[in-house]
Structure 1
Amino acid sequence: MANSSLQHNIDGSGKEFSNVGQLHFFKASSFSSRPSHEHYDYIIVGGGTAGCPLAATLSQKYSVLLLERGGSPYGNANVSWLQNFHIGLADTSPTSASQPFISTDGVINARARVLGGGSCINAGFYTRASTSYVRDAGWDAELVSESYPWVEKQIVHRPKVAPWQAAVRDGLLQAGVDPFNGFTYDHLYGTKVGGTIFDERGFRSTAADLLSSGNPDNLRVLLHATAQKILLHKRGTTTAATTPEAVGVEFKDELGNRHLAYLRAGGRSEVIVASGTLGSPQLLTLSGIGPRSELRRLNVPLVRHNRHVGKHLSDNPMNSIFMPTRRPVEQSLIQIVGITKMGSFIEASSGFGQSSDSILCHHGIMSAEIGQLSTIPPKQRTLEAAREYARNKHKLPREVFQGGFLLEKVDGPLSTGHLSLVDADAETTPNVTFNYFSHPQDLRRCVSGIRTLEKIVRSKHVAELTDDRGYTTETLLNMTVRANVNLIPKHTNDTASLEQFCRDTVVTIWHYHGGCRVGKVVDEDYRVMGVGALRVIDSSTFSSSPGTNPQATVMMLGRYMGVKMLKGRLGRAAGD
C-alpha cells in the first residue's frame, strides 16, 4: 500500500521543496549554503525508477546525495491522477514531468523529467520479468525474489478490472492466448491481470514514494539538479598505468549556477549514474567516456575510449487499433496482457467521457497530443502536427471518443540503433535512432500480433461492446483518418499489406533501452569498464526490455543492487 505520509510543502525560504515522511527534498540552489567540506559515500545521478529505490536502500547505512534534474511529483495533478495521464504526457512546458523528443525515425517519444522518473508518467502497469530473463541477466534469484516484494508492498495495487479490459481478456482467451493465469505479477505465457501503481481512486504511487524507506539522516535529495559531468581523477604514475576514478559530480541548479559534490575520500565511495537510456550514455560521454570520434567532435577531453557508449539502443515498436463502442466505456489504462509465444504482447486501454469537457480531456493512450500520430507515416510526424490536431479535436465526430484500443508490442526487438550528442550541453536531448523493423524478424512478429488483434476484435466478448450501427467502410475510413486512430486492416491475410501497416502506424510504448549495455559498457556488477568508483544502474544497461512493462524490474534492480552493495560492505545481514 502506498505510504500515507506523502506531502507537498514549500516553506517561506523556498529551499525546502517537498517531503516524503521525514525526508525533505531541496532545490539544487540550496546546495550553495551547505558546508564546502561535506562529502558523500554515494552520489546518485538520477532520481528515477532505479535511482529512488537505490538511494533509499544505500542510505540505510551510508550517506547518499541524490541528484534529480526534474521537480517534485507531489502536488502535480497531471502526475498523480489516472484521468490526467495523457495531459501530463502532452505538457511540453520547460518544467513539465514529461519531456518530448522525436527520434530520427520520426516517432514522437518522451523521457521523464521528475523525481520518480518514468513511474510518474507511464500507464502504471506492473509486472515482473520472466525467470529466464532473471537467469540470463545473471542475477541472484533469491535476492530478486526478495527485492520485487519490497517494491510491491509499498506502491503496487491489484486493479479492479474495467469492462473494456474484461472484454479484451476474454477475447484473448477466445483467440487462443491461453491459459488464463488470473491476477499475478509473474511473466507467464497466456493471459493475465497484472498489478498497477494506481489505487482504486485512480491515484498514482511512484518510485519517489520508495524514498520513505530511506534513512532521512543519511539521504539528501536535490531537485532541479542537472549533472554536467562526472569528476574523474587519474591514479597512477605513468600514462599507461593511469586508471580514471570518479571523485564527484558537477551539476547545475535551477538558476544556472554550477556546484561540485564530492565523494568521501578513501573507502569504497562511488558515483552511480541512473539517468536512463538517454541520460546515462549522454553523461558518460560528456565526462569523457565514450567513442573517441564522438568526443573529438564535441571537443570533450578523452578519459576512456569505449565505442559502445550510446550504441545498441532498442525501442519496442507498438501498433494499435481503435474499436468504437455502442456507449462510452469506463476509462482504463493497462490492466491485462496477453503474452503470446509468437513474440508479441497484447494489451488494452479505454475511456472517453460523455461530457464535452471530458471529451476534450480523455482521448486515451493514443492521443495525438502525446505524439501518437499513428495514421501518419513516421517521417511526416511533427510536434506541430500534434498541436494542430489538438486545436481541432473538438470538430471530430463524437463516436471517435467512444471506444477502446487494442495494443500490440513486439517483444525483444532485434532492430537496434544509437544515440549521438548534438552538442556538449547536458540539457540538450541527444539525437536518437531506433531503426524500427530494420530486422525482418521484428516485422514478422508485428504481423502475427496484428492478426491476433483481428481474432480478438471478432470475439463475441468484444463484439458485445463494439459499435454495430452499420458504419460504411467509407465512413469508418474518414473517421479513423480524422481522429488519428487505426481500425483493423481490411486485408489481414495479405502479409505485405500488414507489413506496411506495421511500418506506417508504428508508435512507441516508451520502453526504450540500451546505450550502456552489460558486457559492452558495464560489467555484471554494473561497474563502468576501465573506470573506478563508477557504476550505471538503469534501463540503459538492458539488452532487452524485461516483462511486458519494465518499471517493476527497473525498481527491483535499484533495490537489488542497493542490497547487494550493502552486503558487499557490511556482510549478509545488510538490507534486512
Structure 2
Amino acid sequence: MGWLFSQFILAFLAGCLFFNGLSYSFKAPKYKFIKEATFAPPILSYDYIVIGGGTCGCPLAATLSQGGKVLVLERGGSPYTNPEQINIHNFVNSLSDTSPSSFSQQFISTDGVLNSRARVLGGGSVLNAGFYSRASYRYIRESGLNESLAKSSYEWVEKKVAFEPPMMQWQSAVRDGLLEAGVLPYNGFTFDHLYGTKVGGTIFDKEGHRHTAADLLEYADPKRISVYLHATVQKILFKYNAEKKRPQAYGVIYKDALGIKHRAYISSKVKNEIIVSAGAIGSPQLLMLSGIGPANHLKAHGIKVVLDQPLVGQGMADNPMNVLVVPSPLPVEVSLIQTVGITKFGSFIETASGLSFGHSWSDRLRGIFEFVSNQSGQPTMLTPEAMESYADAIRSLANPTLKGGVILEKIMGPRSTGHLELLTTNPNDNPSVTFNYFKDPEDLRMCVEGMKTIINVINSKAFSRFRYRNMPVQALIDLMLHLQVNLRPKHPNAAFSLEQYCIDTVLTIWHYHGGCQYGKVIDHNYKVIGVQGLRVIDGSTFYRSPGTNPQATVMMLGRYMGQKIIKKRFSRGGSEGMN
C-alpha cells in the first residue's frame, strides 16, 4: 500500500490542472518530419545528430536546423499520438504505467526513493507539474552564460509554451499565508526568480492544454530536420584523430522498435558534431556505454575504454521534497503549482490542490486512520473533538475528488551529491543511481526551515478556512509519518523532530541533475573534454537545479547553445566563448 500511496503523492503533484471535469481537445501539430525509426534507412548522414528529443533536445534541434541538417533520435514516442494519455484524468496511470510504450520509465534510487525519467518527445515537460520559472540572474552569471542571450532565449521559449495561470481560492490562501509567514515581499506574477512570494508561469494554456518542449519544434526548418521516434541509441562511434591526438565522435548505432540496428553518421565537415541531450540519467549512461567513463567500471562490464574519465556519473543530485497533505473542510479547486515562496534561507514553498482519484482510496485511507488512532500503547494528543475532526479529514481525503491539497518544500541546490553506475550494458535498462539525500547537514537545515514555514502557513489566518479547526498540524505530521511514501527505514517510535521527518518522508520533485558536469566532463562550450566532435547539453551538466523549477532553464539552454553553435558554424574563425 505504501508503494501505491507513493504513486498517488507523485501523481498528485505532477498531475494537478486547473478545472474539474476539464475536457481535453488539444489539436496536435502535424510535423511531417517526425517518423517512427522503423521507417529510417539503414544508414543516414547529417550535420548534427542530437541524441534525445527532450526538454533541451527539442529547442536545441529546432535552432540547429536553421543552419544545418539535423537528426534527432528519441527513444520514446510522441505526446501528440494520444493526447488523452497526458490528460489530467490519466496522470496516475501515466506515472505508474510500466508498459514499453509509456511516457514514464520508473526507477528507484539506492536511497529508496521512487522516481521516474521521461521517455517521450518533449521529455519531462510532458509529465511534470507545468510550473515555469526562470533561473536567478546570479545563476545565469555563475554559469558563464551571456545574460542578454539567455534572456532572449527564455523569451523565444515563452512565446510558445509559457502562460499566466489563474489564481483561485486555495492558491490565493497559500500565497497570503506565505506573506503572513514572512516570505516577503510579494512580487506578483513573474517568470523571474525573486526572493519573496510570487505567482509563476505555467505550460498549461487558459483552456488547460499542456504545451511541451516538443511544441518548440514548430520553430524548426522542416526541410532540414528529421526526428525518429523509438530510436534507442546503443552507443556513439569513435575513431582516432591523429592531428588532435584524441578520439573523435563520427556516428551512432541505434535500434528501432523492432530491434533492427541503424547507423547515422555526421558528414565530414570539421564543424559537424554529435550532441548528447539524453537527460541527467541518460547522458552519463550513454557516455559510459560508449566507452567514456571510469576505466575500471567500464572494463568490469566488458566495455572498450575510449577515454578514462572518472568524473562521468559523479555529482548526481536530486532536490529533496517534503510535503504535508492538508485535508480541507471546504471544496477546493484543482490546481497545479502556481504560487511559490522563495525564501532567503534556501527553501522553496509550493502547493497544489484537488485531484480526482478512485473510490478504492477510501478504504486505504480509512485503514491508515484506524492504524494511526488505535495503535496500542501509543498516546494520542487529540481530544475527542479533534479525533472527530481527524475522521472527517480522512473522509474528505477519501472522496473521489480530493478535498484538500499538499504544501511542499524543496531545498535549493542541493549540496548533497551521489553517483551513477551501470548495472547492465542495455541502454533500455535503468542504471544504479544514488543521490545521498541530506548527506550534507546544510540541506537538512534548509528542509527543517522549510517545514517550519509550511507549518506557519497552515496556522496562518489567511489559510484558516481550508483546515480543520480541531486538527493540529502535528496530526498531519503523524499522518505522513505513517504513510509509507518511500522505501526508506522509518522511525515511528523515535522522539519526533523535523530533522527526522525530513529524512523519513523525503520524496523526489524530479529535479535531478549532474553526471556530466560543467568544467569536469564538459568544457565551457559544453564539449566533452578529451574528445572531438561531441557535446553534452542538458541538465546533466548542472551543479545545482536552476531556480525553483528547472524546465524553463533547460529549454532556454537548448535555444542558447543552438544559437552559439550556429554562430560559430558560419563564423570565419575566432573563439567559441560563452560571452
1:162 aligns with 2:162: no
Aligned 8 A contact 1:79 1:204 in 2: no
Paired position in structure 1 for 2:527: 527
1:36-72 per-position Cα deviation (integer Å, ceiling 9, x unaligned) = 4x41000000000000000000001210000000000
Amino acid across the alignment from 1:506: V
Structure 2 CA distance for partners of 1:359 and 1:214, relative to 1, 3 Å: farther
Give me the whole-angstrom Cα distance separating, in 2, the residues matched to 1:310 and 1:480. Answer: 33
Give me the whole-angstrom Cα distance separating, in 1, the residues matched to 2:561 and 2:407. Answer: 36
Structure 2 CA distance for partners of 1:453 and 1:267, relative to 1, 3 Å: same
Amino acid across the alignment from 1:498: L
Paired position in structure 2 for 1:405: 406
* Aligned mate of 1:28, from 17, 26, 37: 37
Give me the whole-angstrom Cα distance separating, in 1, the residues matched to 2:360 and 2:59. Answer: 36
Give me the whole-angstrom Cα distance separating, in 2, the residues matched to 1:458 and 1:235. Answer: 65
1:506 aligns with 2:540: no
TM-score when scaled to structure 1? 0.84
Cα shift at 1:568: 1.1
Aligned 8 A contact 2:324 2:476 in 1: no
Paired position in structure 1 for 2:324: 321
> Aligned residues, how many?
508
In structure 2, runs of 5+ residues without a counterpart are 1-24, 363-393, 487-493, 573-579
Paired position in structure 2 for 1:50: 56
1:90-124 per-position Cα deviation (integer Å, ceiling 9, x unaligned) = 22222110111000000000000000000000000
1:547 aligns with 2:540: no
Give me the whole-angstrom Cα distance separating, in 1, the residues matched to 2:175 and 2:335. Answer: 13
Aligned 8 A contact 1:173 1:180 in 2: yes
Amino acid across the alignment from 2:276: V
Paired position in structure 2 for 1:229: 235
Give me the whole-angstrom Cα distance separating, in 1, the residues matched to 2:482 and 2:359. Answer: 15
Aligned partner of residue 520 in structure 2, secondary structure? coil
Structure 2 CA distance for partners of 1:7 and 1:63, relative to 1, 3 Å: farther
Give me the whole-angstrom Cα distance separating, in 1, the residues matched to 2:207 and 2:88. Answer: 9
Aligned partner of residue 404 in structure 1, secondary structure? strand
* Aligned mate of 1:267, from 254, 270, 283: 270
1:440 aligns with 2:441: yes
Paired position in structure 2 for 1:258: 261
* Aligned mate of 2:251, from 234, 248, 266: 248
Structure 2 CA distance for partners of 1:234 and 1:159, relative to 1, 3 Å: same
Structure 2 CA distance for partners of 1:279 and 1:410, relative to 1, 3 Å: same
Structure 2 CA distance for partners of 1:509 and 1:79, relative to 1, 3 Å: farther
Give me the whole-angstrom Cα distance separating, in 2, the residues matched to 1:161 and 1:85. Answer: 22
Give me the whole-angstrom Cα distance separating, in 2, the residues matched to 1:360 and 1:548. Answer: 34
Amino acid across the alignment from 1:529: I
In structure 1, runs of 5+ residues without a counterpart are 9-19, 363-395, 487-493
Structure 2 CA distance for partners of 1:166 and 1:498, relative to 1, 3 Å: same
Amino acid across the alignment from 1:537: I
1:499-555 per-position Cα deviation (integer Å, ceiling 9, x unaligned) = 100000000000000000001100011000000000000000000000100000000
Aligned 8 A contact 1:284 1:290 in 2: yes
Structure 2 CA distance for partners of 1:537 and 1:86, relative to 1, 3 Å: same
Amino acid across the alignment from 2:410: K
Give me the whole-angstrom Cα distance separating, in 2, the residues matched to 1:62 and 1:109. Answer: 36
Aligned 8 A contact 1:350 1:405 in 2: yes
Aligned 8 A contact 1:82 1:198 in 2: no
Give me the whole-angstrom Cα distance separating, in 2, the residues matched to 1:156 and 1:328. Answer: 28
Cα shift at 1:181: 0.3
1:243-292 per-position Cα deviation (integer Å, ceiling 9, x unaligned) = 11110111010001111001011231100000000100010001110101
Paired position in structure 1 for 2:576: none
- Select between 257-266 and 530-539 the one with higher mean Cα deviation: 257-266
Structure 2 CA distance for partners of 1:130 and 1:360, relative to 1, 3 Å: farther
1:276 aligns with 2:275: no
* Aligned mate of 2:217, from 211, 220, 234: 211
1:193 aligns with 2:199: yes
Aligned partner of residue 157 in structure 1, secondary structure? coil
Give me the whole-angstrom Cα distance separating, in 1, the residues matched to 2:496 and 2:540. Answer: 34
Give me the whole-angstrom Cα distance separating, in 2, the residues matched to 1:175 and 1:151. Answer: 34
- Select between 558-567 and 23-32 the one with higher mean Cα deviation: 23-32
Give me the whole-angstrom Cα distance separating, in 1, the residues matched to 2:359 and 2:416. Answer: 37
Paired position in structure 2 for 1:557: 557
Paired position in structure 1 for 2:19: none
Give me the whole-angstrom Cα distance separating, in 1, the residues matched to 2:477 and 2:519. Answer: 48
Amino acid across the alignment from 2:282: G
1:369-410 per-position Cα deviation (integer Å, ceiling 9, x unaligned) = xxxxxxxxxxxxxxxxxxxxxxxxxxx734343211100001
Amino acid across the alignment from 2:499: E
Paired position in structure 1 for 2:190: 184
Aligned 8 A contact 2:233 2:254 in 1: yes
Give me the whole-angstrom Cα distance separating, in 1, the residues matched to 2:457 and 2:189. Answer: 20
TM-score when scaled to structure 2? 0.84
Aligned 8 A contact 1:198 1:204 in 2: yes
* Aligned mate of 2:300, from 291, 297, 311: 297
Amino acid across the alignment from 1:564: K
Paired position in structure 2 for 1:366: none
Give me the whole-angstrom Cα distance separating, in 1, the residues matched to 2:90 and 2:150. Answer: 33
* Aligned mate of 1:41, from 38, 47, 70: 47
Paired position in structure 2 for 1:451: 452
Aligned 8 A contact 2:348 2:410 in 1: yes
Structure 2 CA distance for partners of 1:534 and 1:126, relative to 1, 3 Å: same
Paired position in structure 2 for 1:125: 131
Aligned 8 A contact 1:315 1:512 in 2: yes
Give me the whole-angstrom Cα distance separating, in 2, the residues matched to 1:473 and 1:306. Answer: 49
Cα shift at 1:359: 5.5
Aligned partner of residue 535 in structure 1, secondary structure? strand
1:426 aligns with 2:427: yes
1:446-493 per-position Cα deviation (integer Å, ceiling 9, x unaligned) = 11111111110111121112223x45899868865776689xxxxxxx
Give me the whole-angstrom Cα distance separating, in 1, the residues matched to 2:485 and 2:330. Answer: 18
1:399-433 per-position Cα deviation (integer Å, ceiling 9, x unaligned) = 34321110000111111100100011111100000
1:174 aligns with 2:180: yes
Cα shift at 1:83: 4.4
Aligned 8 A contact 1:100 1:108 in 2: yes
Paired position in structure 2 for 1:285: 288
Aligned partner of residue 337 in structure 1, secondary structure? strand
Cα shift at 1:82: 3.7
1:98 aligns with 2:91: no
Paired position in structure 2 for 1:491: none
Cα shift at 1:29: 1.1
Cα shift at 1:77: 3.7
Cα shift at 1:88: 2.0
* Aligned mate of 2:336, from 333, 342, 351: 333
Amino acid across the alignment from 2:74: E
Aligned partner of residue 540 in structure 2, secondary structure? helix
Amino acid across the alignment from 1:399: L
Paired position in structure 1 for 2:462: 461
Cα shift at 1:358: 5.9
Aligned partner of residue 462 in structure 2, secondary structure? helix
Paired position in structure 1 for 2:370: none
